[in-house]
């Protein structure tokens, strides 16, 4: 466990980045819930979904921001759970959460590209 | 009202067990009355703590039917309507014997959180002027009535999960001092409550605020510390 | 080896709110990679995405989708409550927001279910 990980500054940063991303996510989620409830009517089809998303740069920006916010927000909580409930040490919890954050970022941005560009 | 209470009392240390006693039921009986009856008439070797018996000192705090309470202020009619009662020592603390816990770590953490006032005026200086209606003083006053009974500490799951966690009482006291304009160790205090074991480990479970017999809200004090620490971190003061 | 609390100590609304928030966050975190992978299928063309959507048309899947919508709504509103506790005026544990979160999640769930069956 390195000194920086345990330090107050690092803790403070994790805390406020999680809260800032939470505020962004609150807005994104409200929009996403509305879109989902609208979109799922009459069933989902690739044609319908891609019809809305392809070439739509506003959509791309919105969902890219959404993905980045998730990639910042999820790891902080995950690390806490890993330490408190799964018995991982400080270092292991941090690496697990960072790896997962990276996974979300890569797969999420790939998904945005997939529905906007492909 | 049942004529007799069936009372299970913890005997032993952390490893131990419940022993059952039959206690006569009276009007306006408190849990402390019950424990005292057992020790005086049924089991002289029972160890427990109390002092004021009127809800001022916090010494009589125990776990009653799973929840940490002041036993002198807990009426039997409220917690044992069916005539059954379970009394155990406070959780999250080493047990000296039976219902008496070792509060050393509780007060050690108080000290580690810089829960002591440090001023720089001498007796020759004029009185410090602290505006009672100022936001800082109001924030401090909201948490100042803590008597260190340990109920919040015993109720907190994070204290159970993370042995180093300073705990709600220590952090609440740190918050009152962080809002004390006369105190001169503010940076040290913020550093003390910002580490691994500090305010960021609080997950707002709220058991402390729910159970505090003085209706304090350590949850809010800890939230305040999170804000203060973040501000200091951003300004490079930590 | 210290004595710990049992469920009786946790029987109050703010604790349930914490538990729901943590469990919903975990569930959503576990779901996200799958969600991103599914959308990423569009990289292989609309037909690939449609293939997945058809596969996901079964009852169990739809129930899981509904469940995730409810979890998302719960986690978001619970999160807004936390932001209010941490940044808002000193208003205690905000139990009204706990009830509000449950209500909002129920409403979102019902709206989604209605859309699913329309």
Domain coordinates in residue numbering, chain A: 7-116
The single-letter DSSP state of residue A60 is: H
Looking up tokens 């469990």, which residue turns up? C23
Query: Who among C3, C86, C93 is closest to B209 (CB)?
Result: C93
Residue C79 has pLDDT above 60, yes or no: yes
| Best residue of C6, C9, C81 to probe chain B, by most B CBs closer than 10 Å | C9
Residue B98, pLDDT score: 97
Residue A5, pLDDT score: 38
Q: Given CB atoms, is B164 within the 8 Å cutoff of chain A? A: no
Q: Which of A3-12, B15-24, B50-59 has the lowest mean pLDDT?
A: A3-12
* Mean predicted confidence (pLDDT) in B66-76: 97
Q: Is B17 helix (H, G, I), strand (E, B) or coil?
A: strand
Q: Which class for C1: exposed (0-12), middle (13-18), buried (19 or more C-beta within 10 A)?
A: exposed
Q: Is B30 helix (H, G, I), strand (E, B) or coil?
A: strand
Q: C45: phi > 0 → left, psi -120 to 50 → alpha, else beta; which?
A: left
Give the contacts of B35 (CB within 8 A, at least 6 positions apart).
B9, B46, B48, B50, B62, B71, B87, B99
> What is the set of domains in chain B, with CATH numbers?
4-101 (3.10.20.30), 104-234 (1.10.1060.10)
In a domain, C6, yes or no: no
Residue C108 has pLDDT above 50, yes or no: yes
In a domain, C51, yes or no: yes
Q: B218: phi > 0 → left, psi -120 to 50 → alpha, else beta; which?
A: alpha
Task: Locate the chain B residue with the closest alpha carbon to C84.
Answer: B223
Complex ipTM, two decimals?
0.92
- The domain of C61 spans 19-116
Average pLDDT, chain C: 94
Strands B95-97, B84-88: pairing is: unpaired
Q: What is the pTM of this model?
A: 0.94
In a domain, C14, yes or no: no
Contact A80 B229 (CB under 8 A): no
* Mean predicted confidence (pLDDT) in B41-56: 97
Residue C31 has pLDDT above 90, yes or no: yes
Q: Given CB atoms, is B227 within the 8 Å cutoff of chain A? A: no
Q: How far is CA B106 from CA A31, B58, B151, B193, in A?
A: 46, 14, 11, 15
Q: Given CB atoms, is C98 within the 8 Å cutoff of chain A? A: no
User: B172: which chain C residues are within 8 Å (Cβ-Cβ)?
Assistant: none
Yes or no: say if B97 and B68 are a contact pair by the CB < 8 Å rule.
no
Contact A16 B230 (CB under 8 A): yes
Q: Give per-residue pLDDT as tens, A2-48.
A: 454 358 899 999 999 999 999 999 999 999 999 999 988 888 888 88
Residue B195 has pLDDT above 80, yes or no: no
List the CATH code of the domain at A7-116.
1.20.1300.10
Chains touching chain B, criterion 3+ CB pairs below 8 Å: A, C
Q: Can you say whether the dihedral through the CA atoms of C19, B195, A10, B222 is positive or negative?
A: positive
* Mean predicted confidence (pLDDT) in B209-224: 98
Q: Give per-residue pLDDT as tens, A79-93.
A: 999 999 999 999 999
Q: How many domains does chain C have?
A: 1
CA neighbor of C69 nearest in space, from B22, B82, A29: A29
In a domain, C12, yes or no: no
User: C85: which chain B residues are within 8 Å (Cβ-Cβ)?
Assistant: 204, 219-220, 223
- Residue C39 sits in a domain whose CATH number is 1.20.1300.10
Q: Give per-residue pLDDT as tens, B119-159.
A: 999 999 999 999 999 999 999 999 999 999 999 999 999 99
Residue A118 has pLDDT above 70, yes or no: no
Q: Is B95 helix (H, G, I), strand (E, B) or coil?
A: strand
In a domain, C106, yes or no: yes
Q: Give per-residue pLDDT as tens, B85-103.
A: 999 999 999 999 999 999 9
Scan residues 10-39 of C and list those with Cβ closer than 8 Å to B.
10, 12, 14-15, 17-18, 22
Contact C8 B66 (CB under 8 A): yes
Residue B1, pLDDT score: 63
């Amino acid at each position: 466990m390195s000194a920086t990980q345990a330090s107050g500054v690092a803790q403070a940063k994790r805390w406020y980045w999680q809260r800032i991303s939470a505020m962004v996510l609150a807005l994104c989620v409200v929009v996403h819930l509305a879109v989902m409830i609208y979109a799922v009517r009459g069933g989902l089809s690739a044609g319908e979904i891609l019809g809305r998303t392809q070439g739509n740069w506003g959509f791309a920006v919105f969902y890219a921001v959404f993905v980045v916010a998730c990639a910042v927000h999820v790891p902080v909580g995950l690390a806490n759970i890993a330490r408190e409930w799964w018995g991982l040490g400080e270092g292991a919890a941090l690496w697990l959460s960072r790896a997962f954050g990276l996974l979300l970022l890569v797969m999420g941005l790939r998904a945005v590209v997939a529905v906007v560009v492909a | 009202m049942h004529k007799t209470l069936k009372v299970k009392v913890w005997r032993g240390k952390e490893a131990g067990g419940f022993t059952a006693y039959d206690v006569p039921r009276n009007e306006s009986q408190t849990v402390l009355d019950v424990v005292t009856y057992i020790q005086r008439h049924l089991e002289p070797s029972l160890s427990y703590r109390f002092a004021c018996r009127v809800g001022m000192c916090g010494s009589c705090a125990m776990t009653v039917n799973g929840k940490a309470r002041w036993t002198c202020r807990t009426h039997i009619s409220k917690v044992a309507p069916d005539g059954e009662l379970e009394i155990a020592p406070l959780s999250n603390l080493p047990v000296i014997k039976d219902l008496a816990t070792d509060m050393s770590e509780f007060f050690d953490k108080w000290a580690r959180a810089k829960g002591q006032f440090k001023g720089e005026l001498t007796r020759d200086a004029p009185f410090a002027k602290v505006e009672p209606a100022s936001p800082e003083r109001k924030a401090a006053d909201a948490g100042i009535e803590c008597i260190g009974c340990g109920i919040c500490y015993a109720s907190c799951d994070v204290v159970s999960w993370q042995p180093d966690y300073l705990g709600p009482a220590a952090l609440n006291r740190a918050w009152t001092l962080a809002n004390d304009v006369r105190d001169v160790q503010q940076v040290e205090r913020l550093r003390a409550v910002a580490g691994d074991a500090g305010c960021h480990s609080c997950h707002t479970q709220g058991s402390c605020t729910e159970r505090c017999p003085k209706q304090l809200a350590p949850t809010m004090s800890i939230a305040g510390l999170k804000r203060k620490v973040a501000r200091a971190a951003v300004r490079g003061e930590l | 080896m210290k004595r710990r609390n049992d469920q009786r100590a946790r029987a109050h609304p703010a604790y349930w709110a914490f538990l729901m928030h943590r469990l919903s966050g975990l569930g959503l975190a576990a779901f996200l990679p799958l969600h991103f992978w599914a959308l990423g299928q569009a990289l292989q063309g609309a037909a690939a995405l449609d293939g997945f959507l058809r596969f996901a048309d079964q009852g169990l899947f739809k129930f899981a989708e509904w469940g995730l919508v409810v979890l998302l709504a719960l986690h978001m509103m619970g999160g807004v409550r936390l932001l209010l506790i941490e940044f808002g005026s000193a208003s205690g544990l905000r139990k009204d927001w706990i009830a509000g979160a449950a209500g909002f999640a129920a409403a979102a769930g019902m709206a989604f279910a209605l859309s699913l069956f329309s």
